[in-house]
Amino acid sequence: MPGSWPLARRSQALAQRGAIFTRVRMFFQEKGYLEVETPFRIPAPAPEAQIDAIPSDGWFLQTSPELCMKRLLAAGYPRIFQICRCWRDGERGTRHLSEFTMLEWYRAQADYRVLMDETEEMVRAAAAADSITYRGGKIDLSVPWERISVRDAFLRHTDTTAEAALAAGNFDELMVDKIEPMLGMGRPTFLYDYPASCSALARLKADDPTVAERFELYMGGLEIANAFSELIDPVEQRARFEAEAAERARNDKRGYPMPEKFLAALAEMPEAAGIALGLDRMVMVLLDAQSIDEVVAFTTEEL
């Protein structure tokens, strides 16, 4: 049986991880954000088609603290952040752990463009460096970072369009095989304006409702964060959840109760933007780790 060396050899990575977490918390304190904690075990996760929650004694382990944090926004907390564990069933690979650490922050009276600027600031503060090396390539962290729309990324890196790929059913494959590996090389990249159908909780763009005001951050080909201008229309949100739930049913996936308290609170939520950032992944990039296993104390398999 394995001894304690696999654990002991991570001591440097875990020390650096701890220092990064400290800098992240300092960043948000200085920006006037309140650190909050919300329950890990919840009765109704957001019904998203492709995200599977792990059942827990009739309820579920959270896949994200999103719904509880938006209820706090609706209750009048204008700037909040949380560092917490999230669980997603069946997600395991060199960049995935079924139980992982998420950083989410929400800001009232802001949109996704404001969050892009703030994400640049936050990652720079966490890195405490002007450039890093990841997988043999240098990533320059000086701002502004690259910004490219999903539409333009398909035109640049594939021989089809985002719309045609969605219709043909190979949008995700092209994203993984052709586009993601090209993003965030040399400097970080914000990929923005996702097709409306890929954005269950995001606001549609006023001047182009075929896309949602959503972005993802990439560094060295690795997806680090997902953000959007929040949808605050409860009627539209319920319709989107029903569509996602129907998709889950079509794919024989477990159904979730409708998150009624969240939908009720949405009517009182101010205009806001929010972001979910995979902290293990950000640590991976900052430490030049090959696998997510190198930056956590225990993987599931080691328990």
Partner 1 sequence: MYTAADLRKGLKITIDNEPYIITHFDFAKPGKGQALYRTKMKNMITGSTLDRTYRSGETFEPASLEDRVMQYLYKEDDHYCFMDNTTFEQIHISEDAMGDAKNYLIDNLQVDVLLFREKAIGVDVPNFVNLRVVQTDPWVKGDTSGSDSKPATVETGYVLRVPPFIEEGELITIDTRTGEYSTRVKG
Does the protein bind partner 1 through residue 300 (CB under 8 A)? no
Residues 6 or more apart whose Cβ sits within 8 Å of residue 124: 141, 143
The 240-269 contact track toward partner 1, x by CB under 8 A, reads -----------x------------------
Residue with smaller CB distance to partner 1, 3 or 32 = 3
Closest CA to 105 of 240, 228, 270: 228
Pick the closest to residue 151 from 95, 111, 221, 205 (CA basis): 205
Shortest distance in whole angstroms from residue 14 CB to partner 1: 12
Greatest CA span in the chain, whole angstroms? 60
Binding of residue 199 to partner 1 (CB under 8 A): yes
Q: Which two tokens stand for residue 96?
A: 């995935």
Nearest to 146 by CA among 119, 100, 183, 194: 183
Residue of the chain from 29, 56, 94, 131 that contacts partner 1 (CB under 8 A): 94
8 A C-beta contact, residue 178 and residue 113? no
In the region spanning residues 207 to 226, those forming contacts with partner 1, defined by CB under 8 A, are 216, 223, 226
Q: Which has the closest alpha carbon to 48: 197, 191, 229?
A: 197
Residue 52 and residue 262: Cα distance in Å, rounded? Answer: 19
- In angstroms, the CA 228 to CA 209 distance is 14
Tell me if residue 149 falls in helix, strand or coil. strand
Q: Which stretch binds partner 1 (CB under 8 A): 114-122, 175-183, 203-211, 232-240?
A: 175-183
Q: Is 1 in the site for partner 1 (CB under 8 A)?
A: yes
CB of 49 to partner 1, least distance (A): 8
Which residue of 22, 29, 50, 133 would you call a contact of partner 1, by CB under 8 A? 50
Q: Taking the complex as a whole, how short is the minimal distance between the CB of residue 29 and partner 1, in angstroms? A: 28
Check residue 168 for interaction with partner 1 (CB under 8 A).
no
Q: Which residues of this chain interact with partner 1, rule CB under 8 A?
A: 1-3, 5-6, 8-9, 11-12, 48, 50-51, 90-96, 171-173, 175-177, 180, 194, 198-200, 216, 223, 226, 251
